[in-house]
Amino acid sequence: MMSSTERSLYDLTLAELAEWVTEQGEPAYRARQIFHELYKPNAAATPEGMTALPKSFREKLATAFPVRGLELAQKQESSDGTVKYLSKLPDEQFVETVMIPVEKPLGLTEAAPSVSAHRRTVCVSTQVGCAYGCAFCASGLAGFKRNLSAGEIVQQVLLASRPSTGSGRAVTNIVFMGMGEPLSNYENVLKAIRILNAPEGFQIGARKITISTVGLVPMIERLGKEGLQVELSISLHAPNDELRGKLMPVNKKYPVAELIQACRAYVQATKRLITFEYILIDQVNDNVKEAQELAKLLEGLLCKVNLIPCHPIPGQSWGRPALPRMLAFEKILRIKGIPCTLRRSRGLDIDGACGQLRLRHLEKVAK
């Protein structure tokens, strides 16, 4: 096992924690007690606060696993309810997390006019910065620094949900769509998912968890063999190599045809639908030609397309298309039989674009 001094308690699965507990001569059920203390709604932040455990064992736990938590550095709240958190890591790096609340009506009737489903989605980061340099994304503008540990990923969800730092309300969904490329930090991402999914832990169903990728073909193939019921989302943003290569450098290594072939194999192996994310950039990838190409590319594939209006990033000239232009693009896909949704933009009045708040903070510090 890895030395405990290199990890926080949040880096441990229940099985790893149970192994450590028994090595200390303690009964195995102590591991479940600790897990409960870590992930209950008003959890103790430190071993010293876990009063359900004997004092001597709490002291041993605190010595073995020194506190390595996230420190909330900044919080921005949008008028639409979206909240963005900037957290400082123990090594003075910064990472972003977003809470996106959605209230979705459920078949409103006169008898039940206010019935609705409350979905609270946490968008987590998996790396400090990003190495993939997508032209429309702020995450990589300050460069790639390092991978996040499983515990640093898990703690983002806790930060966004606990009363002391976040909403104080239960998280229903998790999307790995923040800073970084999740499949480039594969082991830590999957470990975080297993911790968050554990019945003894945060209890988020696997089907409520989505992994997004720029299209790392070998890792998509590997994920398809894991037997996980998580959702997979592909950042596509263009239907051909010429345009996608300009927007996403990763396309030079994994071109569109190879990526779509991997997606078809993934669907065949998992029987699960894939979501394709497509940011609509005015006069760049939002023409009738691209819509028709996209429909042809995805023909016969179990999938849906999320059309996302471009989120303005300071220093870049690209903007969002006019609404009629976006609706026309959506209509072509629907006519061609491709399920799609034109997503409502969130957090426009804050630094809502991925990596934007971190970048603005680093620029302030540098002045």
Across the chain, mean pLDDT equals 86
In sequence order, what are the beta bridge partners of 306?
277, 341
197, burial (CB in 10 Å: exposed 0-12, middle 13-18, buried 19+): buried
Q: Which of 41-45, 98-102, 237-241, 345-349 has the highest mean pLDDT?
A: 237-241
Q: Measured between alpha carbons, how far is 342 from 306 in angstroms, rounded to an integer?
A: 6
The percent of residues in the chain predicted with pLDDT above 90, rounded, is 66
Return the CATH class of domain 4-64.
mainly alpha
This model's pTM is above 0.75: yes
Where is pLDDT greater, at 216 or 66? 216
Question: Which segment of 107-121, 151-165, 218-232, 270-284 scores lowest on mean pLDDT?
Answer: 107-121
In sequence order, what are the beta bridge partners of 88?
71, 94
User: Span 300-310, mean pLDDT?
Assistant: 96
**pLDDT value at residue 281:** 95
Where is pLDDT greater, at 332 or 116? 332
Domain boundaries, the chain: 4-64, 71-105+113-254+340-366
> Model confidence at 45, in pLDDT bands (50, 70, 90)?
low
**pLDDT value at residue 325:** 96
Q: Please write the tens of the pLDDT for every residue from 52-102.
A: 899 999 999 999 998 777 899 999 998 888 899 999 998 999 999 999 987
Longest dimension (CA), the chain: 69
Measured in whole angstroms, the distance separating CA 133 from the mean position of its chain's CA atoms is: 18
> Model confidence at 6, in pLDDT bands (50, 70, 90)?
low
**Which one-letter amino acid corresponds to residue 132?**
Y
**pLDDT value at residue 161:** 86
**Looking at 137, 263, 340, 354, which residue is catalytic?**
354
Q: Got the DSSP string for 104-127?
A: EE-S--SSSTT-EEEEEEEE---E
| pLDDT at residue 366 tops 80 | no
Residue 197 backbone phi and psi in degrees, to 5: -85, -20
**Looking at 26, 37, 96, 181, which residue is catalytic?**
96
Where is pLDDT greater, at 356 or 332? 332
Q: Measured between alpha carbons, how far is 170 from 160 in angstroms, rounded to an integer?
A: 9
Which helix or strand (DSSP H or E) is residue 217 part of? helix 217-223
**pLDDT value at residue 104:** 59
Question: Which segment of 23-27, 115-119, 208-212, 353-357 scores lowest on mean pLDDT?
Answer: 353-357
Residue 157 and residue 171 in contact, taking contact as beta carbons nearer than 8 Å: yes
| pLDDT at residue 347 tops 60 | no
Question: Which segment of 161-165, 168-172, 221-225 scores lowest on mean pLDDT?
Answer: 161-165
| pLDDT at residue 308 tops 80 | yes
**pLDDT value at residue 110:** 38
354 tagged catalytic: yes
**pLDDT value at residue 173:** 95
Cα Rg of the chain (Å, integer): 22
The residue with tokens 């169903």 is: 205
Residue 308 and residue 277 in contact, taking contact as beta carbons nearer than 8 Å: yes
**Which are the contacts of 152, defined by CB distance < 8 A and separation ≥ 6?**
10, 70, 89, 95
User: Span 115-129, mean pLDDT?
Assistant: 83
Q: Measured between alpha carbons, how far is 121 from 173 in angstroms, rounded to an integer?
A: 4
Strands 71-77 and 303-309: unpaired
263 tagged catalytic: no
User: Span 209-222, mean pLDDT?
Assistant: 97
CB atoms within 10 A of CB 46: 14
CATH fold of the domain at 71-105+113-254+340-366: TIM Barrel (3.20.20)
End-to-end CA distance of the chain: 43
Which of 45, 48, 68, 67 has its CA nearest to residue 58?
48
User: Span 354-367, mean pLDDT?
Assistant: 43
One fold for 4-64 and 71-105+113-254+340-366: no
Which of 271, 254, 273 has its CA nearest to residue 340?
273
Measured in whole angstroms, the distance separating CA 99 from the mean position of its chain's CA atoms is: 10
